[in-house]
Structure 1
Amino acid sequence: MLLVRAIESEDPDGAVLTREDRQFATGAALSERPLGERDDPRETARFLHRRSELALERLLSRFPALRRACGLSRWPSWLNWAVPLLALAAGLISHRLDGDRLNILAFPLLGMLAWNLLVYGWLLVGALRRATGRQTDLAGHPLLQLLERLGGPAATRLAAQPTLERGVARFVRDWGRAAGALTRYRASRTLHLGAALFAVGVIAGLLIRARYTAEYRAGWAGTWAGAEGEVATFLQFILGPASWLTGIGLPDAERLRALRGGGENAGDWLILWAVTATLFVIGPRLLLAAWNAVEAAVLKRRVPVPGAEDFYVRSLLRNALGRPGLARVVSYGFQPSPAARERLTRLLGAALGEKVRVEVDEPVPYGAEERWLAAEGRRLGGADQLVLLFAMASTPEAENHGAFARGIRDALLGGGTGLTLLIDDSSFRERLRGQASASRRLDERAAAWRGVLAPVGIAPVVIGLELGEDEVSARTLEKALMRSPVPA
């Protein structure tokens, strides 16, 4: 569905997926998956899924290269066994880095343990950040960046069709956001399993070497001469739990001095390190792999896809059922000119569909936001789309403009009305016409507006209702409507 949604959104003129194709997909889906008068999320999901299948069939028949884009939504299952097997192989041969005897203070044993403790600390920090709400957005996550890079060739292959190229690029971004958590859990499952098998390989490699060596000895070396007491304390900290479980004693300073020479039989040390690796690496990593596997299995059935809260879906359902829609425009603190009102009405009609009725309210006076919200707040949810219009020429104030926007957002919570914030820069541009600092002042004022409206959680869009070309303004408005959320 996300792929069809992305292509349709980037193809408003029907150049790639024609209007006849869309009507056919909608009609056929309705006949197979009818929608009732009452909104049922399950019926809606089945209808949207079937319609997307029918639309995609037509797209693939004309543009076979789209199959690569479809494959981007599938987790590469070969990674599930390739990564763990490579990790196991790396662990098996890692003992060759340790020389002819087991160095109890060298890589890979201490290095493996230190790396895993570092990973556990990182996971704990991430869990605390998510628990405190400081990290909820996956934007910028390395896995999602990798997904976008993988999607680059698929989009580039369609360069002869710029609309499809934009659609695929958009799909990759949308899919990354929708399935980001699922991808993270799948990758974490595979990496944790790989880490566990690397530790198994390390221990197995040492045991195999000991089995086929006449006398495999253990000792230590390095720049620790004279610090045997500190080394004994360190080993007690690292290998103490394994010593307690197995009953194998750890060396004191005197015994450690002897170990710097010829060493001793490595049998007890292999047991101590095998138990330690099981306690601190193999066991925890297998538990983490299992937990991430369960989370991935659950999320696989719950990948969030747009529903009735999405502008695209609402428009689709409205057109499919022949329901007239309502878009309501509320301006605050200024009176849009008749030309601006007429143009905004026309642009909204073009973006939302001919069946949508556009109502432009009388402006809300500056300072009267509380009184207006008390009188109109309950009626706001009757619209499919609510557009809150500000003038860039006004100085943005958090206690007025910001409070009004937050009040409208709160009044729409839990409903199905989309909220869009528009800032008309026409009069401000006209005021700055001919001034050398016009561009800088426009940027500064736009930044000030974004700062005041940031607590609303909806990014405002700047549009010129009395200036600029209709096509550019329509494109800007459509993008704003496409990303306008329904407060939940």
Structure 2
Amino acid sequence: MDERAARDVLAIRAIETTDTAHAVFDEAAYREASLSARRQLQLGASGNAAAVTPDAFLARRADLLLADLTARTPTLAAWRKPLRWPTLLLIVLPALALCSGMLTERIANPQRMDLLSLPLLGIVSWNLLAYVGMLVMAIAPSGPLRMPHWGWPAWLSGATRRAHGRTTPALARAISAFQQDWQRRAAPLTAARWRRALHLAAAALAAGVMASLYLRGLTVEYRVGWESTFMDAPGVHRLLAIVFWPVTALFPGLDWAPSDIAALRFSESGGTASGAPWIHRYALLFLLWIVVPRVVMAGYAHWRAARLQARFPVSHDDAYFRRVLGALGTHAPVLRVIPYSFAVDEDRDAGLKTFARTVLGDTAHMTLRPAAAYGDTPDAALVGTDVAHDTATMTLALFNLSATPEIDTHGAFVDHLSRSLPGKVAIAVDTSAYAQRMGGASDAGARLSQRRQLWQDFADLHKVQLHVIDLLAGERP
């Protein structure tokens, strides 16, 4: 999906995941949007359900929901407007750099051209240091010198800020959640846009200096030379030979002798009025060292930004997208449940089926594996399962909140599942038995919270998602 569709999809995701009280949309609205999106796309595909892609379904569903939301809350129309800051950045930054470059030489000295001019050599040195920095970051992208992704929340325009202040608390929370999620997901695209603008600005700065030298050369007779307190003529010759190496290597006719440099010292000869060759040398130096490399890098950044804008990566692996995409009906998602030292009766089995539909969508199925006894070897959990061709959407290790998680038993069990089915394992903890045992005890709430935190720490340690559910109630507590 493209950038705009991705923003719509992630905005609806933020609303659905933060608005648990359904203050923005009720369940019927989400269900109707899913049905309408699927119906419209199938009609467009001549009834071929298999031709409806998940990205197209998510984008159409989000479009329907946001159209309804902006009709009810017109101030939120700014959410759906195309982003303006990338275009402004691409125009304003290079334009400012071009103007700065045209003023740089005049600020230094409008009547003469100093071969050791700090602005001229400084621009070259700055670009060389920038190239070294980019090379270091390319070699070690995870190192401490990694450049941060500059930018701001993509929809945080003035209209969006005003809309944020006029919305309900539920919608305001969704906007904040979206902005944080979007800034993280769009970081590669934002970085590519900044790099494109900065590379063009660097090229424009050098082009501005070149233009200033040639334009002023039409009406001003430059006196070219050098002066230094600490360097003599041989030292200046060595320095300039290093700096202008690309120019003299490609154009040998523009080389010079040490005696030529000695004759250009202002304190001895007052320089020379024949400045055209040195203007050509500096122009070629800027062209070879700065303009051409920066334009090439800007072109690559533009290609990468355009590619990310046209095909914005939105992974469908998390529970939210698995649940929403279940409405497509192309293949029913399956939740495999493996109880651990936990007997699942008929009522809790019904609760698991409800949980499967909540997590994976209305078309989801639940399959219950035989319970693993306490201390069973982890291999027993997947006996009879073809791990290489596993079709289950998610495998859920089910525990009882009354149990205390242990590294050697519960931890080994979860770790084995995670290694066998990477990215498809979560754990659930049922609170129903523990809540019944606590009854109406005065400290029941505090002890329940402590138990939940204990299992949350366990889930964080083993890097799996935790669901705390009441299977007898059929919903999350």
What's the TM-score once normalised by structure 1's chain length? 0.74
Corresponding position of 1:117: 128
How is 1:131-210 mapped onto 2 (pairs within 5 angstroms)? 134=142, 141-143=148-150, 146-147=152-153, 150=156, 154=160, 157-159=163-165, 160-210=167-217
Corresponding position of 2:236: 231
**Larger mean Cα displacement after TM superposition, 270-279 or 352-361:** 352-361
- Offset of residue 331 of structure 1: 5.1
| CA deviation string 1:367-409 (max 9, x = no partner) | 6113434544539944433223578944436xx7666545434
Q: What SS does structure 2 have at the residue aligned with 1:76?
A: helix
How is 1:245-264 mapped onto 2 (pairs within 5 angstroms)? 245-246=250-251, 247-252=253-258, 255-256=261-262, 258-261=264-267, 262-264=270-272
Contact 2:149 2:191 in 1 (8 A): no
| CA deviation string 1:195-221 (max 9, x = no partner) | 1111000111122222221x2112333
CA distance in 1, matches of 2:282, 2:300: 26
How is 1:71-470 mapped onto 2 (pairs within 5 angstroms)? 71=81, 76-100=86-110, 101-130=112-141, 134=142, 141-143=148-150, 146-147=152-153, 150=156, 154=160, 157-159=163-165, 160-213=167-220, 215-225=221-231, 227-246=232-251, 247-252=253-258, 255-256=261-262, 258-261=264-267, 262-265=270-273, 266-307=275-316, 309-319=317-327, 321=329, 326-330=334-338, 335=342, 345=352, 348=355, 351-352=358-359, 356=364, 361=369, 362-363=371-372, 365-366=374-375, 368-376=377-385, 378=387, 381-388=390-397, 393-396=404-407, 404-412=413-421, 418-421=424-427, 450-451=460-461, 453-454=462-463, 458=464, 460-461=465-466
Corresponding position of 1:3: 11
Give the letter for the 2:94 counterpart. P
1:335 to 1:199, Cα distance in 2 relative to 1, 3 A: same
- Offset of residue 141 of structure 1: 3.7
Q: What SS does structure 2 have at the residue aligned with 1:102?
A: strand
> How many residues align structurally?
443
Q: What SS does structure 1 have at the residue aligned with 2:372?
A: coil
- Offset of residue 102 of structure 1: 1.8
- Offset of residue 336 of structure 1: 8.2
C-alpha RMSD of matched pairs (Å): 4.3
Q: What SS does structure 1 have at the residue aligned with 2:293?
A: helix
CA distance in 2, matches of 1:112, 1:319: 58
Contact 1:377 1:411 in 2 (8 A): no
How is 1:35-46 mapped onto 2 (pairs within 5 angstroms)? 40=50, 42-46=52-56
1:20 to 1:344, Cα distance in 2 relative to 1, 3 A: closer
- Offset of residue 312 of structure 1: 2.6
1:268 to 1:354, Cα distance in 2 relative to 1, 3 A: closer
Contact 1:311 1:418 in 2 (8 A): no
**Larger mean Cα displacement after TM superposition, 188-197 or 261-270:** 261-270
| CA deviation string 1:454-488 (max 9, x = no partner) | 5xxx5x4485979xx999x55xxxxxxxxxxxxxx
- Offset of residue 242 of structure 1: 1.1
Q: What SS does structure 2 have at the residue aligned with 1:65?
A: helix
1:233 to 1:161, Cα distance in 2 relative to 1, 3 A: same
Q: What SS does structure 2 have at the residue aligned with 1:91?
A: helix
Give the letter for the 1:129 counterpart. A
1:85 to 1:324, Cα distance in 2 relative to 1, 3 A: closer
| CA deviation string 1:429-451 (max 9, x = no partner) | x9xx99xxxx9999999768645
Q: What SS does structure 2 have at the residue aligned with 1:330?
A: strand
- Offset of residue 360 of structure 1: 5.7
What's the TM-score once normalised by structure 2's chain length? 0.76
Corresponding position of 1:485: none
Contact 1:396 1:449 in 2 (8 A): no
Corresponding position of 1:54: 64
CA distance in 2, matches of 1:255, 1:156: 63
1:222 to 1:148, Cα distance in 2 relative to 1, 3 A: farther
Gaps of 5+ in 1: 475-488
Contact 2:357 2:365 in 1 (8 A): no
Q: What SS does structure 2 have at the residue aligned with 1:289?
A: helix
CA distance in 2, matches of 1:314, 1:441: 28
Contact 1:364 1:372 in 2 (8 A): no
Give the letter for the 1:297 counterpart. A
Q: Percent identity?
A: 27
- Offset of residue 314 of structure 1: 2.7
1:406 to 1:238, Cα distance in 2 relative to 1, 3 A: farther
Give the letter for the 1:195 counterpart. A
Contact 2:124 2:290 in 1 (8 A): yes
